[in-house]
Structure 1
Amino acid sequence: MYHTLKFTYLAVLATQIGLGRNCTYDLTSTGNTLITGNCGTCPGTAITGFPPGVCTGTTSAGGTAACLAEDACLSAYNNARAAGPTVALPAADLGGMTLPPGVYTFPTSAGSLTGAVTLDGATNATGQFIFLLATTFEAAAASQILLINGAQACNVYIIVGSSATVGAASALQANILAYTSVAVMNGASNNGVLCALNGAVTLINDALTTQSNCSSL
């Protein structure tokens, strides 16, 4: 499994996890995707669309580095699933909410983002924002994750029980760890890790950027 990323750290509840890159069975890009970081797949070896897509770091198709990254993603996924205590969100759509750090569950098995959600680090700038979904997560076109008062993208985790979809022209700042697949639609961006533990990462003219390590690490 695998997709794109750079050597950095994923920390879930103060557990440091070295994450070398994004993870998936297949990495497929259409158009001029730009990945600032490394690219790879494990256990699969299919990486297509590069070029014309660009990966600024190293590329590993089923290599040791990619497989270590996949293991790190799985550890992060499991650590997040065990996190608590949890806070129940008032609605399945994050749009319009302003949230402090916490571990959040959704009132339905699937969750979504329409418009913008604001993550506020005022109470704890090094706090983590963990969103737990039983099945799917879908960010509508032009959705945004906004970070204020010191909140950091490296501390944002969307943990998806099946597949995640990021809508066209969205601008997210999160580590998206999906049990099955991740699809990023045309012209979207994400500051964070994408991991598809049992499926493919599919990209279309997207901009994916490696985060710096969190100041809390």
Structure 2
Amino acid sequence: MGLASTFGAVASSTITSTGATVITGDCGTCPGTSITGFGAGAGTCTGSIDSDTTASCNAEAACLTAYNNAEALVPTETLSTDLGGQTLGPGVYGFTTVDAVLSTTLTLNGTSNPNGQFVFQVSTTFQTTTATAQVVLIGGAQACNVYFIVGSSATIVGGSQMQGNILASASIAFQGGASSQGTACALNAAVTLIDNALTSQPSCST
């Protein structure tokens, strides 16, 4: 993720938070300048809040580079629409449909390789569909090595627990109480938050 790795959320247009969202890491927009819902009595961004600064524009550019690099990879396996109930090792995963969902638990097994990468190439939308949807990491898998590459928008419903970087061509919406470990990048639109916990993953163990 390069210069975006310290960011919990990066958006092209706006970052809007409602309630007591906590972003552990930096928050940034570029070229947009609106970051709202943080401060006294509202949400918290523990790092810097950068609206159309050099840091946030570098982060947005790093997100785009990561998106393009991951999208260009050749899938090693093709999956059905729902990731729920599956246990997967490192690889590049395409889908038989243009969208993808996560309904229950997706287990990612690093097979004792902390450098193993997991790339999910979703042509259009990605969404979690239940409050119990979650990504679980075992066998040395790390959130910093997980990438959800989304051709349009991503929606993470309330209560869902994500692990990995979410890079969406359009927008990302986190509904009430959803959490994520990694960087959320909205390349051409907004990141919308409601009482969420987002934690950046600036480095991987080797």
TM-score range, shorter chain: over 0.9
> Considering only aligned residues, what root-mean-square deviation do their CA atoms show, in Å?
1.1
Given candidates 70, 77, 81, the residue that maps to 2:67 is 77
Given candidates 192, 198, 206, the residue that maps to 1:208 is 198
TM-score normalised to structure 1 length: 0.89
Alignment: residue pair count = 200
Given candidates 35, 50, 60, the residue that maps to 2:38 is 50
- Is residue 23 from structure 1 mapped to residue 13 from structure 2 by the alignment? no
Q: Tell me which residue corresponds to 2:160.
A: 170
SS of match in other structure, 1:18: helix
Q: Tell me which residue corresponds to 2:170.
A: 180
| Mapped contact 1:113–1:139 kept (Cα < 8 A) | yes
Given candidates 111, 119, 125, the residue that maps to 1:130 is 119
| Mapped contact 1:185–1:204 kept (Cα < 8 A) | yes
SS of match in other structure, 2:97: coil
Q: Tell me which residue corresponds to 2:142.
A: 152
Report the alpha carbon displacement of residue 75 of structure 1 after superposing the two structures with TM.
Answer: 0.2
| Mapped contact 2:114–2:205 kept (Cα < 8 A) | no
TM-score normalised to structure 2 length: 0.94
Structure 1: which 4+ aligned runs deviate by more than 4 Å? Answer: none
Q: Which amino acid aligns with 1:144?
A: Q
Q: Which runs of 5+ in 1 are unaligned?
A: 1-9, 11-16
User: What does the per-residue CA deviation read over 1:25-61, in whole Å, with 9 as the maximum and x for residues that have no partner?
Assistant: 1000000000111111110001111130111111111
Q: Which amino acid aligns with 1:214?
A: C
| Mapped contact 1:35–1:207 kept (Cα < 8 A) | yes
- Is residue 97 from structure 1 mapped to residue 86 from structure 2 by the alignment? yes
Q: Which runs of 5+ in 2 are unaligned?
A: none
| Mapped contact 2:112–2:141 kept (Cα < 8 A) | no
SS of match in other structure, 1:23: strand
Q: Which amino acid aligns with 2:93?
A: Y
Report the alpha carbon displacement of residue 84 of structure 1 after superposing the two structures with TM.
Answer: 2.5
Q: Distance in 2 between matches of 1:191 and 1:178?
A: 16
